[in-house]
Amino acid sequence: MSNLLHRSLKEPLPLIEHGMGVRLYDSNGKEYIDGSSGAFVVSLGHSNAEVLKSYNELIQKITYVNGTQFTNENAEDLAKKLCEKSKKIGLNRCGFISSGSEAVEAALKLARQIHIERGEKSRKIFISRTPSYHGNTLFALSASGRPGYKKNFSDYLVHFESLTTPYEYVALNNITSNSKTYLAEPYLDELSKKIASIGKDNIAGLILEPISGSSVAGALPPSGYLKGIEKICKANGILTIADEVLVGMGRTGTYYASEHDSFNPDFLTLGKGLNGGLTALSAVLTREEHFETIRNGSKKLDHAQTFMHCPGSVAAGIAVFDYFEKHLVLKNVIQIGDYLNQKLRSAFENHDHVGFISNIGLLFGIEIVENKSNKSPFPIERKITEKLTHAALESGLTLWPNTGHRENGDGDIILLGPPLVLNRSEADEIVTRLLLAFDSVF
């Protein structure tokens, strides 16, 4: 009899006894490759001895102080490191919270605070995109373009205006558009029209993932899209929030996914891989000018939580960051990412039910379709993603499932996002195990 409130109640969950590198071991002695780094968290692998050692050293002196009364060396140090790496996108203030949802909440609330401090009180409405995921607390869930997740809580959520998330596979040659080129213009037009209809003075901000994470895995926006969004938002006084909880901190081959299209957001969130799975740690970064607005105004953040800037949690981020630098992890992400991309394409591109493979760095999405010629998805009742994820687990591979990104709640994508320290033979094993899973389902 367990007293734990398990998250999935369909069948008993395997008990993981330990992890090492990219592998997990359960109590029956079964071994798995962690193809999704848990929930894209374990960026440097399980039980990474060097990371654990430096984390251990960093928590010896102090593990908690009240962030309103004191500052602390760990938080100052990690803020400096992360801001230095964000020079290209111009962020120079960084705060720490615990989860990705909280980082998103903090960014949204800070954006609203900035408008109020500037005397632009009418700027209340936020815009997000569909499909998208920004978290599960009420403001972050409100921002998420995920009708299924919101269904039971609609009475408590605030309204977000919605834009279409660019996704090349669906955008090209779909039934409603005959375009053969993936262009930014239709998406930018949609934003301009939205602003005109709501009235720019009523809009506080726009939140988006610069590269889509779980919703349309690793899907890149069309060239010029992010710069275009930035330009339109700036011209209309709308603050931009880059949610990099999943795609930040090296997953795409750069510290910040916003770097890929030289996007300069007003706020940026990090989580997941930032803590490598050691403690709950997320971050919100912003520009000096916004910090100055608050310093010259109310002089206090309107968002406060008990574990903000907590030195014990931040220690995990320092240990992870220092390992990234010392072991050139970003270089590995690009090299092994390319290698695994080629292997996956040669193994799956010609499969009857693989419609599209998206990739950047060590983030992959494989869209499964019923009919490749017209890109039509399987009806969701066929539970294709669930079956594939289950079969992969049987063959010793964890995957991240995503469903419902197509019309009517259909759509199956399986995601891979292995630890960023993956090597070639482990990449080969992932492909072999995934092939076994496909064979068993199809």
- CA distance linking residue 299 with residue 316, whole number of Å: 29
- Residue of the chain from 19, 205, 213, 418 that contacts ligand PMP (CB under 6 A): 213
- What are phi and psi for residue 17, nearest 5 degrees? -90, -40
- Nearest to ligand PMP by Cβ — which residue? 100
- Residue of the chain from 35, 45, 67, 100 that contacts ligand PMP (CB under 6 A): 100
Instruction: Rule CB under 6 A: say whether 104 interacts with ligand PMP.
Output: yes
User: How would you label 123-143 residue by residue, b for 16+ Cβ within 10 Å and e otherwise?
Assistant: bebbbbbebbbbbeeebbbbb
Closest contact distance (angstroms) between CB of 100 and ligand PMP is 2
Instruction: Rule CB under 6 A: say whether 271 interacts with ligand PMP.
Output: yes
- Token couple for 170: 């669906």
Closest contact distance (angstroms) between CB of 89 and ligand PMP is 17
121: amino acid identity, one letter: K
- Considering the complex, state which of residue 54 and residue 101 has its C-beta at the smaller distance from ligand PMP: 101
Nearest residue to 232 (alpha-carbon basis) of 269, 263, 259: 263
Instruction: Rule CB under 6 A: say whether 101 interacts with ligand PMP.
Output: yes
- Token couple for 43: 């960026």
> 125-130 and 239-243 as β-strands: parallel, antiparallel, unpaired?
unpaired
- Which residues within the stretch 119-148 sit at the binding site for ligand PMP (CB under 6 A)? 133-136
Q: Which residue has the tokens 């990234």?
A: 324
Give kind and range of the element (H or E) at residue 318: helix 311-326
Closest contact distance (angstroms) between CB of 298 and ligand PMP is 27
Instruction: Rule CB under 6 A: say whether 380 interacts with ligand PMP.
Output: no
DSSP state of 351: S
Report how far apart, in Å, the C-alpha atoms of 292 and of each of 92, 162, 302, 385 are: 11, 30, 15, 47
- Considering the complex, state which of residue 34 and residue 209 has its C-beta at the smaller distance from ligand PMP: 209
Give kind and range of the element (H or E) at residue 24: strand 23-26
Instruction: Give the x/- contact pattern for ligand PMP in 348-377, rule: CB under 6 A.
Output: ------------------------------
- Residue of the chain from 22, 241, 246, 421 that contacts ligand PMP (CB under 6 A): 246
Total residues binding ligand PMP (CB under 6 A): 15
Instruction: Give the x/- contact pattern for ligand PMP in 147-176, rule: CB under 6 A.
Output: ------------------------------
Peptide bond into 131 cis (omega under 30): yes
Site for ligand PMP, rule CB under 6 A: 99-101, 104, 133-136, 209, 213-214, 243, 245-246, 271
